[in-house]
Structure 1
Amino acid sequence: MTSPVARPPLAVLTTRQITAVSVGVAVVLIGLKAFALGASGSVSILASLADSGLDLIASLATFYAVRWAARPHDATHRHGHGKAEAMAALVQAGLVFASAAFIGWEALMRIFDPYPVSGGSWAVGVVLISIVLTGGLVWLQTRALKASGSMAVSADRAHYAADLASSVVVLIGVVSGAYLGAPGLDAAAGLVVAVWLFWGALGVLREAGNQLLDREVPDADRIALTTAVLADPRVEGVHQLRTRMSGTRLLAQMHIDLDPALSFEASHTIVVEAERRIIAAFPDAEVLIHADPRGARPAVPVSPWA
């Protein structure tokens, strides 16, 4: 009988689908905003178009990153490829910083030298369509995150959520420039978008940097890990707990204190059961537990968490 073809987990499949949708939305928005820019000359639309262009690059990076991160570990990547997601988030942050700088500069130039906004009805229509498409994408990304917890998708979602808010600002700017005879407000709206993007990029950069630099997981997760191990009364203590994330995968290692009178086989059984409890609480976690006889702590410097 032919063995069944292995299928990717549901969470991974959902993540792959949402990254493809993200790329498609970015392409559509670029086309619409390019048309609106030609019709209106609005600096707010220019800002939004530049942002959508970088959105496409960032979404493509995410598209490939989640596929790379889902690959199983191999001989040269023993912990898997999960940090590809953090790398994609880092690329996104860099692109958004560049976008914010360009938009901010252009907005400042237009504030001192206002440019009239024409074709306001086309620009307004495109911005409204952009808001609807972006809002739908953010909703889909939120659903995908509940299934996968993907850092790359989380960064992409944060960026599009900022785009959604900035589109409202752009709409105000276009209406001000086209219908209120105040092109300076249009330029000011572009400047607001630039500041918004810069702030959002800082958050993405922080999250990506934390994972790439192996920052410890939050205290709540460390407590949950310790609680799961100490659920067995034969485990008398936990020390030298070290944790980090690789994509959505938790990597943890620790030492536990056991009764010195226990046999090697009994100690091994306790360790295996502890690892199973951790994996039940943190699916797909990779856990390494070292058993120490009670009172035999290693004579090496340890962290404050030891």
Structure 2
Amino acid sequence: MVATNVNPSEKYRNRAAWISAIASVFIFLIKMGAYRLTGSAAVLSDALESIVNVVASIVALFVIRFASQPADAEHPYGHGKAEYFSAAFEGGLIFFAALMIIGESLKALINHEPAQKLELGVLIIGGAAFLNLLLGVYLKQMGKKHHSEALQASGAHVISDVTTTVGVMVGLGLVLWTKIEWLDPAIAILVGLQLAFQGFKIVRQSWGGLLDEMDEGSLENLTNALQKNRMPGIIDIHHLRIIRSGSFHHVDAHLVVPEFWNMLQAHNETHDFERKVVQDYPVDGEIAFHLDPCKKSFCEICDLENCPIRRVPFKTLRPFTVKSLTGGPAATNPLAYENANRSN
């Protein structure tokens, strides 16, 4: 049984990707102009990172459009995982740019190439940093609102670019104040090391999404939705798993229902439960339940009224938790699990 939401967010994700691509090209041109003016290794390091923004934003644009395509015969779970590829690709580009920055900065440090017109260069890259901040906040908000891993990764990278630019500005201020020219390439090397770490983090997060690594935030949100919509006859849920496919989540779980329910009643009750849960879950998705009969062993935690097979009085519901949902039935009710095994 499946419950799904119609996803209205594709056009907003595509629009954000277009804005990101156009803005990234413009900001890159500003920074390259500052480098041509100053010849600063630190400014070059900042501009090289912006090249990554340009390439990554263009990749994200096509990936987001591909990921928004509906499921088909060849891709029954949709195309959403392509977004994790985009994020991983961007992280790899950041790491590669970091190596380029470190290499160029080492050459400048060895060759003692002095920078010039640093005051004007600082003003120019400061303006670029402000534009980048606006873009990064916008992308992160759109990515979070419309559940796009690619937009969130792009937003995180753009904001890290702002941090990098601010660091470069501070470093160039030190060069102007102290007149120590080797500080310029030394600052660029520090920028490269920071970018390498940032790229590794993005690749690590994307790798987790590709391998369906457990996501505590998604599990908490789903637990809240299940608890909120719990109804009589929804006795226990266990062995729950979430497959994240970009902005669409597939949920599989075992659901314990009264054993005397016939097939039609079990279908109708669980389908209604699934629909309500998906509506309250903040991500578009579907739920597939494997139904387990209660075997008269969950009476103490079943609040179904007028049950014709009840053996003992109802005591209290066991609330759904992440631990109980993802574990086996013993995680929720060990005694019931043991009794059920004896009755087999």
Both structures adopt the same fold (TM-score exceeding 0.5): yes
Other-structure match for 1:145: 143
Other-structure match for 1:115: 113
Query: What CA distance in whole angstroms lies between the structure 2 residues aligned with 1:252 and 1:228?
Result: 17
Q: What TM-score, normalized to structure 2?
A: 0.79
Other-structure match for 1:167: 165
> Does structure 2 conserve the Cα–Cα contact (< 8 Å) formed by 1:257 and 1:295?
no
Other-structure match for 2:342: none
Larger radius of gyration: 2
Query: What CA distance in whole angstroms lies between the structure 2 residues aligned with 1:21 and 1:209?
Result: 26
83 and 304 in structure 1: CA distance in 2 versus 1, 3 angstrom threshold:
closer
Q: What TM-score, normalized to structure 1?
A: 0.88
SS at the partner of 1:183? coil
> Does structure 2 conserve the Cα–Cα contact (< 8 Å) formed by 1:169 and 1:192?
no
Q: Deviations over 1:110-167 (max 9, x none)?
A: 3444321112233223211211210111232233234312110000001001000000
Other-structure match for 2:237: 238
Query: What CA distance in whole angstroms lies between the structure 2 residues aligned with 1:102 and 1:215?
Result: 32
**For the aligned residues, what is the CA RMSD?**
2.3
> Does structure 2 conserve the Cα–Cα contact (< 8 Å) formed by 1:243 and 1:253?
yes
> Does structure 2 conserve the Cα–Cα contact (< 8 Å) formed by 1:241 and 1:253?
yes
Query: What CA distance in whole angstroms lies between the structure 2 residues aligned with 1:217 and 1:158?
Result: 18
Q: Deviations over 1:149-198 (max 9, x none)?
A: 21100000010010000001111233334564222221122122112212
- Aligned runs of 1:175-194 on 2, under 5 Å? 175-178=173-176, 180-194=178-192
Which residue of 86, 100, 107 corresponds with 1:88? 86
Query: What CA distance in whole angstroms lies between the structure 2 residues aligned with 1:304 and 1:23?
Result: 40
Structure 2 stretches lacking a partner, 5+ long: 1-5, 297-324, 329-344
- Aligned runs of 1:2-41 on 2, under 5 Å? 10-41=8-39
Other-structure match for 1:272: 271
Query: What CA distance in whole angstroms lies between the structure 2 residues aligned with 1:304 and 1:18?
Result: 35
Aligned residues: 293
SS at the partner of 2:179? coil
Percentage identity across aligned positions? Answer: 23
Letter of the 1:234 partner, please give it.
G
> Does structure 1 conserve the Cα–Cα contact (< 8 Å) formed by 2:241 and 2:326?
no
Other-structure match for 2:284: 284
Q: How many angstroms does 1:260 deviate by?
A: 1.4
> Does structure 2 conserve the Cα–Cα contact (< 8 Å) formed by 1:158 and 1:200?
no
Letter of the 1:247 partner, please give it.
G
Q: Deviations over 1:25-58 (max 9, x none)?
A: 2211222222222221100111111111111111
Structure 1 stretches lacking a partner, 5+ long: 1-7, 297-302
SS at the partner of 1:220? helix
Letter of the 1:58 partner, please give it.
A
